């Protein structure tokens, strides 16, 4: 009896101590928050909250609402609390000051439908598993040494793009700029990842790949009732789960084939591959060997899916928007071409190292990122605990969106915000690398796009090559003033009608 009561007393003591600790840590966390008011926002309807206020282009709806409710506002979509920030100061608070607490993610219904949120570098919360995947990607794909080692590959793929354009120019044919730059980007990424060309300018298969990647982005980003009422997930009212399942399976099938071929090829090899000959998949497969593996084949497939979806369409879409803006603004195009001609000369070849000598071209790229950020709301973040932002309380589990599209067009930040004027960046230090919160197309902080070092090489190189080797005409008598700039929102922002233009050969490629 004595023993039982002794044990009982001991458990009672533990229970009271735990309660005290939990109570005091919760109090001290709450206590450290001065703010109690949540950010202002529009009135909510019963059950749906503010869903009715968001149209097909949420970045535009949020931009309009923020004119009334300010740079930080609360919205409620069904059961999902959302905070949208729309000023450089507020973006800085989210992406820098409170970056640690706001580095989690809010996976969408379609992402959950293929369990991608359990393994994905994009959708995992900030966690040891996510850190491992980031470390792997940064050291084997995006480190300065790896970027340098894959320079020749990028040059070759851009040369293939120029050759394709030259053929179209000979036939005086209009080219689908989005499709052609997508194939270039697809082949650059597929070669960096597993030394294979996935795209071909001559075949429709690459278009299939592009459509699949775009469908994945749309299934992730399009409004979905189940994101706001999770119990509706199984009904798949918007069909996003189905699209995601079909499209991801299409990509996984391609990856499975490549993985199996590589495993078979490595099995036949007598000596291990030299590290300088290894591609990313070689490294991943090495890590997947042995009993205590860090990665399974399934993890590898999901990582490849992330790299393709995050890397291809974002970069090629930026090239397309830049070309569309330049065709709409012929004087700006002429100025960019004159700069390149002056630096490269009449019979030159454009190399990545030339880009630093082309400040106007760099300004054109920045201006494109300002007006057409590939991910207009970044990728949704989530608060891991209650946190204070700009003096307001953002409760735990709130989804936090940074409207970089609206910040890029804010008249308080930019003069003539809707005009395409690269000159605004000349002589200014402002850059896209996550330190200037008025221009963060790649995000900032812990979750900043790890592909940034690759994207800032390839986008200007592709654009400079298109502008150096060719003059450009719009097809069928379309005049530049009439060129449409309509956008379609997925999680990325597309030109609704793909840009077609006719290349006219200017310099030969040697
Ligand atoms: C113009 C090109 C690109 C743009 C504008 C872009 C933009 C972005 C943005 C806005 C994010 C989210 C950042 C945040 O949450 O704060 C992101 C994340 C990511 N991007 Fe990019 N990206 C581009 C190219 C690439 C490339 C080429 C790759 C890889 C090949 C890539 C891989 C990723 C990955 C893996 C993530 C998720 C990182 C994480 O959640 O930890 N991106 N990107």
99 Cβ below 6 A of ligand 1:
no
- Region 201-218 average pLDDT: 80
Q: Categorize the per-residue pLDDT at 18 as very low, low, confident or very high, splitting at 50, 70 and 90.
A: very low
pLDDT confidence tier of residue 207, bands split at 50, 70 and 90: low
* Site of tokens 């860090």: 294
C-alpha 240 to ligand 1 mean position (Å): 22
Q: Is the pLDDT of residue 4 over 60?
A: no
Q: Helix (H, G, I), strand (E, B), or coil: what is residue 168?
A: helix
- What residue spans define the domains of the chain? 34-505
Backbone conformation region of residue 37, classed left if phi is above 0, alpha if psi is from -120 to 50, else beta: beta
Instruction: For residue 81, give the 3-state DSSP assignment.
Output: strand
189, pLDDT greater than 50: yes
pLDDT of the residue at 1? 35
- Using alpha carbons, select from 226, 157, 225 the residue that is nearest to residue 188: 157
Per the model's pLDDT, the better-predicted residue between 1 and 114 turns out to be 114
With cut-offs at 50, 70 and 90, classify the pLDDT of residue 3: very low
Residue ranges for the known binding site are 449
User: Band of the pLDDT at 166, cuts 50, 70, 90?
Assistant: very high
Question: Mean of the pLDDT values across residues 134-160?
Answer: 96
pLDDT tens per residue, range 245-288 = 999 999 999 999 999 999 998 888 877 777 777 899 999 999 89
Is the pLDDT at 509 greater than 90? The verdict is: no
Tell me the CA distances in angstroms from 201 to 152, 164, 173, one per residue in order: 20, 7, 14
Distance CA 394, CA 90 (A): 13
Please state which of the ranges 20-34, 395-409, 495-509 shows the lowest mean pLDDT.
Answer: 20-34
- Rounded mean pLDDT, 374-399: 97
Q: Which of 98-107, 386-395, 464-473, 483-492 has the lowest mean pLDDT?
A: 483-492
Query: Residues 286-331: pLDDT tens digits?
Result: 989 876 678 999 999 999 999 999 999 999 999 999 999 999 999 9
* pLDDT for residue 359 is more than 70: yes
* pLDDT, mean over the chain: 90
CB within 8 Å of 74: residues ≥ 6 apart? 38, 39, 40, 41, 81, 82, 83
Q: What is the pLDDT of residue 500?
A: 96
User: Measuring from atom 19 of ligand 1, which residue has the nearest CA?
Assistant: 449
Element (H, E) at 430: none
CA dist., res. 287 & res. 44, Å (int): 50
If you average pLDDT over residues 389-403, what whole number do you get? 97
Q: Which residue has the tokens 């399976």?
A: 249
pLDDT reported for residue 366: 98
Q: Residue 49: left (phi > 0), alpha (psi -120 to 50), or beta? A: left
Q: pTM score, two decimals?
A: 0.91
Residue 407 — pLDDT band, cuts 50, 70, 90? very high
Q: Of 264-278, 279-293, 453-467, 469-483, where does mean pLDDT reach its minimum?
A: 264-278
Please tell me the predicted confidence (pLDDT) of residue 7. Answer: 52
pLDDT at 123: 97
Quickly list DSSP for 266-329: HHH-SSPPPGGG--HHHHHHHHT-SSS-S--HHHHHHHHHHHHHHHHHHHHHHHHHHHHHHHH-
Query: Ligand 1 pocket: which of 124, 184, 306, 310 to mutate (most atoms <8 Å of CB)?
Result: 310
How do beta strands 399-402 and 381-382 pair?
A: antiparallel
What does the pLDDT average to over 212-220?
87
pLDDT at position 221 is 81
What pLDDT sits at residue 8? 47
Which of 20-24, 128-132, 211-215, 285-289 has the highest mean predicted lDDT (pLDDT)? 128-132
Q: What is the 3-state secondary structure (H, E, C) of 351-416?
A: CHHHHHHCHHHHHHHHHHHHHCCCCCCCCCEECCCCEEECCEEECCCCEEEECHHHHHCCCCCCCC
Supply the DSSP symbol for 503: E
- Torsion angle (degrees, nearest 10) of CA 485, 223, 42, 229: 180
Q: Is 172 helix (H, G, I), strand (E, B) or coil?
A: coil
Q: Nearest 10 degrees: CA dihedral of 100, 490, 465, 481?
A: -120
| 10 pLDDT above the threshold of 60 | no
Q: For residues 347-352, give the mean pLDDT.
A: 94
Q: What is the pLDDT of residue 452?
A: 98
**Does residue 379 line the site of ligand 1, with CB under 6 A?**
yes
CA-to-CA distance for 219 and 204, rounded, in angstroms? 22
Q: Is the CB of 432 within 6 Å of ligand 1?
A: no
Report the pLDDT value the prediction gives residue 317, as an integer from 0 to 100: 95
List phi, psi (to 5°) of 91: -65, -40
Q: Cβ–Cβ contacts within 10 Å for residue 397, how many?
A: 15
* DSSP β-ladder status, 80-85 and 399-402: parallel
Tell me how far the alpha carbon of residue 449 lies from the centroid of ligand 1, in angstroms. 4
Q: Ligand 1 center to residue 306 CA distance, Å?
A: 9
Most confident of 278-287, 373-382, 500-509: 373-382
pLDDT for 498 beyond 80: yes
Picking from 502, 444, 493, the residue whose alpha carbon sits closest to that of residue 472 is: 502
* Distance between CA atoms of residues 246 and 77, nearest Å: 27
> In whole angstroms, what is the distance from residue 78 CA to residue 383 CA?
18
Residue 14 has pLDDT above 50, yes or no: no
User: H or E stretch including 152?
Assistant: helix 151-170
Flag whether pLDDT at 51 surpasses 80.
yes
Of 431 and 215, which is predicted with more confidence?
431
Residue 305 CB–ligand 1 contact under 6 Å: no
Q: Cα–Cα distance between 239 and 235 in angstroms, integer?
A: 9
Q: Compute how many other C-beta atoms are within 10 angstroms of the C-beta atom of residue 312.
A: 27
Give me the sign of the Cα torsion angle 201, 205, 208, 210.
negative
- Residues 178/320, Cβ–Cβ less than 8 Å: yes
Separation CA 312–CA 459 (nearest Å): 11
Residue-level pLDDT at 362 = 98
The SS3 of residue 163 is: helix
CB of 447 shorter than 6 A to ligand 1: yes
What is each CA distance from 340 to 89, 428, 432, 466, 497, in whole angstroms? 36, 20, 22, 11, 29
CA distance 196 to 187: 7
Residue 151: what are its φ and ψ, rounded to 5°?
Answer: -65, -45
Looking at per-residue pLDDT, the higher value among 439 and 209 belongs to: 439
CA–centroid distance, 331 to ligand 1, in Å, is 32
Strands 392-394 and 387-389: antiparallel
Q: Extract the tokens encoding 334.
A: 């002429």
Residue 204 has what pLDDT? 63
Query: Best of 134, 216, 449, 459 to mutate for ligand 1, by most ligand atoms within 8 A of CB?
Result: 449
- If residue 6 lies in a helix (H) or strand (E), which one and from where to where? helix 2-32
CATH fold of the domain at 34-505: Cytochrome p450 (1.10.630)
Tens digit of each residue's pLDDT (9 = 90 or more) over 226-237: 999 999 988 999
- Weakest-pLDDT range from 166-175, 196-205, 422-431: 196-205
Taking the mean position of all CA atoms in its chain, how far away is CA 258? 25
**Other CB atoms closer than 10 Å to residue 430's CB: what's the count?**
13
């Amino acid at each position: 009896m004595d023993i039982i009561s002794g044990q009982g007393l001991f458990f009672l003591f533990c229970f009271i101590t735990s309660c005290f600790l939990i109570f005091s840590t919760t109090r001290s966390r709450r206590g450290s928050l001065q703010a109690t008011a949540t950010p202002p926002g529009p009135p909510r309807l019963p059950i749906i909250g503010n869903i009715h206020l968001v149209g097909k282009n949420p970045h535009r709806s949020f931009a309009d609402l923020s004119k009334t409710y300010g740079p930080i506002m609360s919205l409620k979509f069904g059961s999902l609390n959302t905070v949208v920030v729309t000023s450089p100061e507020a973006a800085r608070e989210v992406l820098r000051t409170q970056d640690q607490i706001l580095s989690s993610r809010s996976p969408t219904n379609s992402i959950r439908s293929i369990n991608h949120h359990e393994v994905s570098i994009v959708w995992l919360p900030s966690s040891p598993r996510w850190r491992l995947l980031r470390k792997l990607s940064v050291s084997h794909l995006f480190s300065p040494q790896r970027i340098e080692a894959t320079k020749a590959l990028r040059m070759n793929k851009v040369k293939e793009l120029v050759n394709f354009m030259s053929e179209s120019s000979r036939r005086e044919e209009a080219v689908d700029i989005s499709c052609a730059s997508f194939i270039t980007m697809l082949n650059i990424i597929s070669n960096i990842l597993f030394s294979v060309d996935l795209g071909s300018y001559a075949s429709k298969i690459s278009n299939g790949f592009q459509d699949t990647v775009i469908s994945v982005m749309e299934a992730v980003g399009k409004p979905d009732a189940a994101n706001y009422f999770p119990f509706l997930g199984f009904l798949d009212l918007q069909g996003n789960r189905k699209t995601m399942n079909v499209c991801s399976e299409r990509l996984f099938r391609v990856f499975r084939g490549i993985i199996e071929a590589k495993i078979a090829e490595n099995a036949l090899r007598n000596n291990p591959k030299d590290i300088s000959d290894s591609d990313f998949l070689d490294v991943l497969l090495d890590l997947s060997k042995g009993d205590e593996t860090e990665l399974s084949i399934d993890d590898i497939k999901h990582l490849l899916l992330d790299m393709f979806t995050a890397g291809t369409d974002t970069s090629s879409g930026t090239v397309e928007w830049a070309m569309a803006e330049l065709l709409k603004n012929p004087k700006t195009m002429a100025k960019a071409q004159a700069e390149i001609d002056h630096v490269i000369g009449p019979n030159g070849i454009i190399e990545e190292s030339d880009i630093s000598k082309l400040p106007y071209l760099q300004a054109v790229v920045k201006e494109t990122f300002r007006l057409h950020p590939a991910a207009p709301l970044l990728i949704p973040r989530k608060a891991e605990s209650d946190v204070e932002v700009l003096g307001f309380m953002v409760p735990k589990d709130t989804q936090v969106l940074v409207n970089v599209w609206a910040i890029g067009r804010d008249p308080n930040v930019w003069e003539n915000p809707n005009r395409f004027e690269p000159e605004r960046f000349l002589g200014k230090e402002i850059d896209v690398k996550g330190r200037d919160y008025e221009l963060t197309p790649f995000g900032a902080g812990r979750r900043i796009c790890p592909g940034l070092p690759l994207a800032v090489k390839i986008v200007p190189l592709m654009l400079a090559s298109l502008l150096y080797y060719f003059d450009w005409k719009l097809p069928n008598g379309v005049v530049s003033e009439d060129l449409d700039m309509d956008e379609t929102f997925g999680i990325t922002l597309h030109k609704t009608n793909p840009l077609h233009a006719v290349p006219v050969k200017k310099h030969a490629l040697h």
